[in-house]
Amino acid sequence: MASERPDLAAMLYPLVRELIAIELPILAGHEVSMWGYSVLAALDDTPVRTQAALATAIGADKSRIIGTLDELQQAGLIERTPDPDDRRVRLLSITPRGRTVRRAIRKDIQSAELQVLDSLPAADRKTFLRLLQQLHTSR
Amino acid sequence: MASERPDLAAMLYPLVRELIAIELPILAGHEVSMWGYSVLAALDDTPVRTQAALATAIGADKSRIIGTLDELQQAGLIERTPDPDDRRVRLLSITPRGRTVRRAIRKDIQSAELQVLDSLPAADRKTFLRLLQQLHTSR
DNA sequence: TATTGTTATACTCTATAACTATA
DNA sequence: TATAGTTATAGAGTATAACAATA
């Protein structure tokens, strides 16, 4: 019976939950919700898109992100401009201020999140991070 | 600006979501919910405990797992016996049938879940798994 | 008084499906 | 008619607090 190990999800999920617990106070400090941060990140990495495309990109329903977009727009972090070529579409873009906020949040998160890997030796931590990144970009 | 990488959660969360999508139909096939499977796994790995201890062990509220325990008990997968020493407490245990079901589910899950690591070379896959396991046990 | 398990309540998410305006 | 965005509705999930039994 040697080959016993926990399921992948059983090992990964606690990590994610710990990470969320780390991120929430940071996000609150910047007055941005988790969905809001997710939107800012997506828009910052790939500039313009329709709301529907954005929604599927971050794994949400198109109706689910509307409140988030309203908040971000009102805070001046994103812009929604009607597409002249197809007036049904709202072209999305992150504002300079949105970009600044996104980077500040990311800096705070990334300087705190690595603590979840603390139990690994430094070399292993680096390896884990590299493999995870590889896994993430090749999806 | 070299040091740019996605946040840990941004890389891990999609993995978890993909894993859940893989697990749900398997669990449905065994007529066990995700919470139910989580409870079976916890009880199988560390035999007896109070409901409150079990709840915190799997990251839930004590009131949240009661419906799950009812279902599992009715299906004959767990037992709730009053503690003679403290009649407020219900001692929890997994039944032989519960153990069988849990193992069957785990076998199905583990034979399917590794596909999320498919984009890694075999050696890297093994390394990732080892580090993740190390991370999980040393928490 | 404190604790275990339970129930009840309200609150938050989420999914679904209508609705509008454009095409 | 089909699609983008929006709104409305209902359903599921969750947290909180009250409750009964026991310590």
- CATH code (residue A91): 1.10.10.10
Please indicate, yes or no, if residue B135 is contained in any of the structural domains: no
Please indicate, yes or no, if residue B127 is contained in any of the structural domains: no
- Mean pLDDT rounded to a whole number for chain A: 94
Please indicate, yes or no, if residue A3 is contained in any of the structural domains: no
Cross-chain Cβ contact A8/B114 below 8 Å: yes
Tell me how far apart the alpha carbons of residues B81 and A65 are, in angstroms, rounded to a whole number. Answer: 47
Question: What backbone phi and psi angles, to 5 degrees, belong to B91?
Answer: -75, 130
Cross-chain Cβ contact A136/B14 below 8 Å: yes
Residue B1 CB neighbour total at 10 angstroms: 4
A55 touches A65 (CB < 8 A)? yes
DSSP secondary structure code for residue B92 in this structure: E
How confident is the model over B110-121, as pLDDT tens digits? 999 999 999 999
Q: Does the structure show a pLDDT above 80 at B76?
A: yes
Q: Does the structure show a pLDDT above 50 at B87?
A: yes
**Which helix (DSSP H) or strand (DSSP E) does residue A137 occupy?**
helix A122-137
Point out the residue among A9, A120, A135 whose CB comes nearest to the CB of B135. Answer: A120
Tell me how far apart the alpha carbons of residues B106 and B111 are, in angstroms, rounded to a whole number. Answer: 8
**Which helix (DSSP H) or strand (DSSP E) does residue A44 occupy?**
helix A34-45
Chain B from 28 to 67: CB within 8 A of any A CB:
38, 41, 59
**Residues in chain A closer than 8 A to B139 (CB atoms):** 14, 119
How confident is the model over A92-129, as pLDDT tens digits? 999 999 999 999 999 999 999 999 999 999 999 999 99
Please indicate, yes or no, if residue B14 is contained in any of the structural domains: yes
**What pLDDT, on a 0 to 100 scale, did the predictor assign at position B1?**
47
**What pLDDT, on a 0 to 100 scale, did the predictor assign at position A3?**
55
Please indicate, yes or no, if residue B117 is contained in any of the structural domains: no
Domain that holds residue A86: 9-137
How confident is the model over A12-62, as pLDDT tens digits? 999 999 999 999 999 999 999 999 999 999 999 987 789 999 999 999 999
**What pLDDT, on a 0 to 100 scale, did the predictor assign at position A139?**
79
- Mean pLDDT rounded to a whole number for chain B: 94
Q: How many angstroms separate the CA of B62 from the C1' of C10?
A: 18
Residue B120 CB neighbour total at 10 angstroms: 19
Q: Does the structure show a pLDDT above 70 at A1?
A: no
User: How many structural domains comprise chain A?
Assistant: 1
- In this prediction, residues B72-86 reach a mean pLDDT of 96
User: Quick check: A52 CB within 7 A of strand D?
Assistant: yes
How confident is the model over A73-97, as pLDDT tens digits? 999 999 999 999 999 999 999 999 9
Please indicate, yes or no, if residue A47 is contained in any of the structural domains: yes
Please indicate, yes or no, if residue A4 is contained in any of the structural domains: no
Please indicate, yes or no, if residue B122 is contained in any of the structural domains: no
